[in-house]
Amino acid sequence: MTESEHGAPDVSVIIPSYNTAEAVLEAVRSVFEHTRAALELVVVDDCSTDGTAARIRADCPQAEVIVQPRRSGFAAACNAGISQARAPLILLLNSDIIVNDDAIDRMIAFVRESGADACGCRLVAPDGTPQPYSIRVPTVRQVIRAAFGGRAVADEPDDGPAEVECLQGSCLMMTRDAIELTGRWDERFFLYCEDIDWCIRARNAGLRLFYLPDIVMVHHRGLSTSAEVQRLTVQYHRSVWRLYRKHFAAKHGGIANALAFAGLTARCAATLIVNVFRKHRSPRW
C-alpha cells in the first residue's frame, strides 16, 4: 500500500480471485508497475486451491490478501474488498486483467475532473483484438432473444468519454459515495450479471456512468471459469433469470415472463449438451 500526502490512498484496487494464482500475480504486478497514484491493493481469494493467497503474500507483500471463509462468489468477494478499502475511489479489477501504461491514473483523473460516479475502459484480448462491451442495460426483448440463442451486439462508442447505461464489472471504478448511495453488490448473484444489476440501481439513483474507450487494458478472458464449464453454464443462466426477475418481470405480463423462463431453460440445456462434445472446454453461453 502507498499513501498520498493526506495519509490515505487515492484508490483502492480490489482483485477477486479463484484459482488464478499465476494470472493474479501478473495483474498485481501490472497495477503497481503502471500506477503512480497512491493506492492500496486488496486481493480477495475465494477459497482457491492453487495456493493463490500464499503466492501473493510471498511475491507481492505490498498487496493485502483477504481469504474468504467459504467460497461465496464474485459479488461477495467484491464486497469483502470494499469493506476493507480506505480510499475515496474503488476499482474492481478481474484477476485476468493486465494494466497498461497509466490507465488507472487516467481513470482517477477523469472521475475527479468530470464528477462521474463510475467509469470503465476499453478491454482488448492479448493480441489487441477489442472485446465486446455492452454499454446498455438489456431490454426484455433482448433477454428473450438471448434466451433463444441470439447473440449480444457490441454497442460501445468509438469516441469518448461517453455517458452510458451499463459498465462491465471486470474493470469498474466507482466512488465511495456511489457505493454508499446505491448499495454494494447483490451477493445473490454468485457469478455473472452482478455488474448489470449494480448499474441498473446506480442509474435509478441518478448516478452518472461513463465509458472511456481511449483507456485500454488487456483482458485474458475466462481464466477462472474455464475449468468448470458445466456448473458455470448453469450459474450463468440462473443469474440471467435472477436479473430478469429482479428488474423486468414485474413490469411485463405472464406471457413474456414464461417465454423468458422457457427460453433460458432450453438454452441452458442445449448449451450443456453442446459443451459435452466440445474439445475446447471454455464456457459457451
How many other CB atoms are found less than 10 A from the CB of residue 153? 9
Mean pLDDT score, 147-167? 71
Q: Summarize the confidence of residues 61-88 as an average pLDDT.
A: 96
Among 165-169, 177-181, 245-249, the range scoring the smallest mean pLDDT is 245-249
Shortest CA distance to 58 belongs to which of 14, 96, 28? Answer: 28
Measured distance CA(271)–CA(284) in Å, rounded: 7
- Residue 224 contacts residue 96 (beta carbons within 8 Å): yes
What letter represents residue 6's amino acid?
Answer: H
- For the segment 60-76, the average pLDDT, to the nearest whole number, is 95
Indicate the DSSP class of residue 36.
-
Residue 26's pLDDT is 97
Reported as a single tens digit per residue, the pLDDT across 10-51 is 999 999 999 999 999 999 999 999 999 999 999 999 999 999
What percent of the chain shows pLDDT beyond 70?
A: 86
84, 80, 165, 260 alpha-carbon torsion, rounded to 10°: -170
Average pLDDT over residues 273-281: 67
Q: Report residue 246 as a C-alpha cell.
A: 429482479
Q: Mean pLDDT, to the nearest integer, of 206-219?
A: 96
User: Given this model, what pLDDT does residue 90 score?
Assistant: 98
Task: Check residue 223 and give its pLDDT.
Answer: 57
Reported as a pLDDT band with limits 50, 70 and 90, residue 151 is low
Residue with cell 471504478: 173
Q: Is 66 exposed, middle or buried (0-12, 13-18, 19+ CB in 10 A)?
A: middle
Pairing status of strand 39-45 against strand 118-124:
unpaired
CB-hemisphere CA count at 13 Å for 14? Answer: 28
Rounded CA gap, 131 and 154, in Å? 8
Residue 66 has pLDDT above 50, yes or no: yes
Spell 37-61 as b/e; 16+ CB within 10 A means b: bbbbbbbbbbebeeebbebbeeebe
**pLDDT attached to residue 9:** 96
Confirm if 16 and 74 have CB atoms less than 8 A apart: yes
Q: What's the pLDDT at 212? A: 96
Q: Is this prediction's pTM over 0.85?
A: yes
User: Please, which residues have CB within 8 angstroms of residue 77's CB and are 6 or more apart in sequence?
Assistant: 16, 17, 18, 44, 46, 68
Write the CATH number of the domain with boundaries 11-219: 3.90.550.10
Least confident of 105-109, 152-156, 183-187: 152-156
Residue closest to 15 by CA, chosen among 46, 37, 42 = 42
Between residues 63 and 132, which one has the greater pLDDT?
Answer: 63
Q: Which pLDDT band holds residue 156 (cuts at 50, 70, 90)?
A: low
In this model, does residue 67 exceed pLDDT 70?
yes
Q: What pLDDT band is residue 277 in, cutting at 50, 70 and 90?
A: confident
Report the mean per-residue pLDDT for the chain.
Answer: 87
In tens, the pLDDT along 136-145 reads 877 666 655 6
Among the residues of the chain, which ranges form H helices?
Answer: 21-34, 52-59, 74-84, 103-114, 140-147, 176-182, 194-204, 229-247, 254-276
Task: Please say if the pLDDT value at position 285 is more than 80.
Answer: no
HEC string of 191-223 equals: CCCHHHHHHHHHHHCCCCEEEEEEEEEEECCCC
pLDDT tens track for 224-274: 555 577 888 888 888 888 998 898 888 777 887 888 788 788 888 888 888
